[in-house]
Amino acid sequence: MREKRQSVQVKGKTNKKVFWTSFISGIMLLAVLLVSIGLSGVAYAVPLAGVGDFYVEFDKLEGTGYTFYPKMGETSSEASAPEGTNLIDKLTITNLKLYKDFKVGDQWIRVKITASKPVQITGLQQDASLIQANAQFSDLVLKENYSNDWTKQFKQTSSKITLGSAKLKTHYLFQKTINMNGMKLTVEKIDKK
Amino acid sequence: MRFKSWRQSRPLWGSVITIISGLMILWVPLNLYLSTFLPGSIAVIGLLFGGLITMIGLLALFFPQSAKILGIFTMFLSVLSVIGALGGFLVGTIFGLIGGSALIAWRMGSTDPDEDDSVHVTEDPVRAG
C-alpha cells in the first residue's frame, strides 16, 4: 500500500513598498535627531561629576549673576576636601580649554577638550579648590550670615563677573545648557613627572 | 536545495545586515575602552545598543515570525546609537536602518496552498508498511 506525504515549504517575501517606507521614515528620524543635537551644538544638562581634579583654562569669561560660597566636597583622591562653589546664571567663555590627566601604567595620558569659538553656558555650577585669574566684579557683595551651617556663614555675590587668563582646579562641573561651537577632543600622551 | 528552503523561510539578508550593523556600532565603544579606559557611562550605552542590535539580528534568523517587531526595534536602537557610540560612525546606523526595514518588510508566505503561490506542496510517494 502506498500513501502520499505532503511537505509544505513556506517561502518568505520582501514587500518593497513597506521596505522603502520604513527606510525613509528611519532616515527622517535620524535627520531629526542629528538636527536637534548635532547642528545646534547644544548639549543639555552636562554634569562632569566624579571625574574630579581636572583643569579649566580660558582667556576670558564674562558672566552675569555670580554667587560664591565655601563647601566640603569630594575629589578623586579625597572623600571630603575644602572647596568653593561658583554659580553663574549666564556666561560666555572665549578660548576654553578643559583637561584631565590620567596615569595609565607608567605613562600619563591627557584628555583635552577645546573650543575655538566662544562658548555660551547657562546655569553653571562649578566646585573649585583653586582659582587663578584677573578678576573684575560689579556690585560685589561679601557678606557674613549668622548660621549653624558653616557653608552658609559666608557668601559672595556680584551682578557681573569678568575673569581673564584664568586657571581653575575643578572637581565638579554642571551646566544646564552649553553651546560649544568648534569643539575638539584630543587624547594624547604627555611627559609628566 | 536544503539551504535554499532554509534561506527562503526566514529574512536572511535583513538579519545579516542587522548583525553587521550591531558589530559596527559595538566597534566604537570597544575601541574607546581598550585604548583609553575613560571613566564615564556614555560608552556603556554604545556597548548596550550594539550588543542588542547584534542579538536582534540573530533572533530574527531563528524567529522569522517576529521579524516585523524585531525590525522596528532595530531601527529605533540604531538611530539612538548615534548618542554614545556615534552609530558606528553613522555607517552602522545606516546599515541598521536598511536591515531593520528589510526585517519589517519581510512577510512569511501563507500556509494555505490555495491562497498563495509562495507555498509549494510537493507530493512524494512513500512506501508504508
Domain boundaries, chain B: 12-108
> Is the CB of residue A18 less than 8 Å away from at least one CB of chain B?
yes
Task: Name which of B27, B93, B21, B32 is nearest B55 in CA terms.
Answer: B21
pLDDT digits (tens, 9 = 90+) for A116-143: 888 888 888 888 888 888 888 888 888 8
pLDDT for residue B36:
42
pLDDT digits (tens, 9 = 90+) for B17-69: 999 998 888 887 776 655 444 555 556 777 788 889 999 999 988 888 888 89
Q: Are A99 and A64 in contact (CB under 8 A)?
A: no
Is A8 or B85 the better-scoring residue by pLDDT?
B85
Of B104, B122, B123, the CB nearest to A22: B104
Rounded CA-CA distance A161/A183 in Å is: 24
Domain boundaries, chain A: 13-44, 45-190
Q: Are B106 and A14 in contact (CB under 8 A)?
A: yes
**How near does any CA of chain B get to the CA of A67, in Å?**
29
Other CB atoms within a 10 A radius of the CB of residue A36 amount to: 10
What is the ipTM, given to two decimal places?
0.74
Query: Burial of B83 by CB count in 10 Å (0-12 exposed, 13-18 middle, 19+ buried)?
Result: middle
Average pLDDT, chain A: 79
Other CB atoms within a 10 A radius of the CB of residue A59 amount to: 13
3-state helix, strand, coil in chain A (%, to 5): 15, 65, 20
Task: Name which of A43, A28, A33 is nearest A122 in CA terms.
Answer: A43
pLDDT for residue A8:
56
Q: Could you identify the residue written with the cell 548660621?
A: A147
Q: Do A23 and B125 touch (CB under 8 A)?
A: no
**How near does any CA of chain B get to the CA of A36, in Å?**
12
Is A130 or A41 the better-scoring residue by pLDDT?
A130
